[in-house]
């Protein structure tokens, strides 16, 4: 997969996976103060930057699956909250990486769909020439060959952006399981979701219309400040704030200030983590 220059997207969707991390810290925590400031900054331009919560995305995913699922606990009432008849759970679900396993657990808590989840580790990593390849493909292929028989198989990821990783998983499945598979994700680019849907049905929470990168882009809030968001072959991982071109593209009017805030938050998180370990 070849890298492309990063344009400024018409709409930048930011998955808020920082709030839970911040709530686990004391109210006097420097990281919590900086994180609240960063999230406030992200929400200050709602016409261009859309902050998505986990709850919003899960509710949308359930609705897009036809409303199937058990009600939240405690039950809520109101428009759109009738879960309808429950669907049977999937005998087996594959979570793509740690993010996919977390999503599967969160959706299962809401719906009861994924009682058995296996982790499949495959990831996109940047090469020296700026293009992308997949890591972990050999181990993934070996683990998928050993999958047990299942009448239905769920494949769960957090985001379908280019669809690079989920297509690789679908392509590596044993032929007997491919026709029984359904893909789930919390969010994604509509055109990429449509591409994946040529291989297996897809249920997504948020499917953003428009061209990849120019019209729409997706990032995790934690990726702005935690190293590991950009995985590089044979080199240390980076946080998004350490890639100036991306920060300029995503935050054209105040990229210097947002970058500085992300850098300070990264240092605070690493300092507080080391002091408690």
Going from the C-alpha of 43 to that of each of 51, 58, 133, the distances in angstroms are: 7, 20, 33
User: Average pLDDT over the chain, rounded to whole?
Assistant: 90
Residue 43 is predicted with a pLDDT of: 97
30-41 pLDDT, tens per residue? 999 999 999 999
Question: pLDDT digits over 150-196, tens only?
Answer: 999 999 999 999 999 999 999 999 999 999 999 999 999 999 999 99
E strands present in 163-277: 181-189, 202-208, 216-220, 230-232, 235-238
Taking CA 151 as the corner, what is the angle to CA 150 and CA 156, rounded to the nearest 5 degrees? Answer: 70
* pTM metric for this prediction: 0.89
Domain spans in the chain, listed from the N-terminal domain onward? 17-52+221-277, 57-74+86-205
At the top level of CATH, which class does the domain 57-74+86-205 belong to? alpha beta
Q: Which tokens sit at 79?
A: 């428009």
φ, ψ (nearest 5 deg) of residue 65: -90, 5
**Interval 15-25: pLDDT, tens:** 999 999 898 88
Closest CA to 14 of 226, 222, 174, 268: 222
Question: Can you list the residues of the chain whose pLDDT is less than 70?
Answer: 1-4, 67-86, 274-277
pLDDT value for 72: 40
Res 277: pLDDT: 55
Q: How far apart are CA 258 and CA 8, in angstroms?
A: 15
């Amino acid at each position: 997969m070849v890298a492309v220059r990063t344009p400024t997207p018409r709409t930048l969707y930011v998955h808020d996976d920082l709030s839970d991390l911040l709530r686990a810290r004391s109210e006097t925590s420097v990281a919590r103060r900086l994180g609240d400031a960063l999230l406030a900054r992200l929400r200050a331009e709602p016409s261009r930057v859309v902050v998505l919560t986990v709850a919003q995305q899960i509710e949308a995913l359930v609705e897009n699956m036809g409303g199937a699922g058990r009600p939240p606990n405690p039950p809520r009432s109101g428009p759109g909250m009738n879960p309808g008849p429950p669907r049977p759970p999937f005998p087996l679900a594959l979570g793509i990486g740690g993010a996919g396993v977390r999503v599967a657990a969160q959706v299962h808590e809401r719906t009861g769909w994924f009682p058995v989840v296996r982790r499949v580790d495959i990831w996109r990593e940047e090469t020296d020439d700026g293009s992308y390849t997949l890591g972990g493909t050999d181990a993934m292929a070996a683990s998928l060959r050993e999958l047990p028989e299942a009448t239905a198989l769920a494949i769960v990821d957090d985001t379908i952006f280019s669809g690079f990783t989920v297509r690789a998983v679908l392509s590596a499945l044993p032929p007997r399981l491919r026709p029984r598979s359904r893909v789930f994700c919390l969010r994604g680019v509509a055109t990429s979701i449509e591409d994946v849907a040529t291989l297996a049905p897809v249920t997504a929470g948020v499917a953003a219309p428009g061209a990849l990168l120019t019209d729409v882009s997706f990032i995790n809030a934690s990726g702005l400040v935690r190293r590991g968001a950009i995985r590089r072959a044979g080199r240390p991982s980076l946080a998004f704030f350490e890639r100036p071109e991306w920060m300029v593209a995503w935050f054209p009017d105040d990229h210097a200030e947002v970058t500085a805030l992300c850098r300070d938050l990264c240092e605070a998180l690493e300092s507080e983590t080391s002091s408690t370990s």
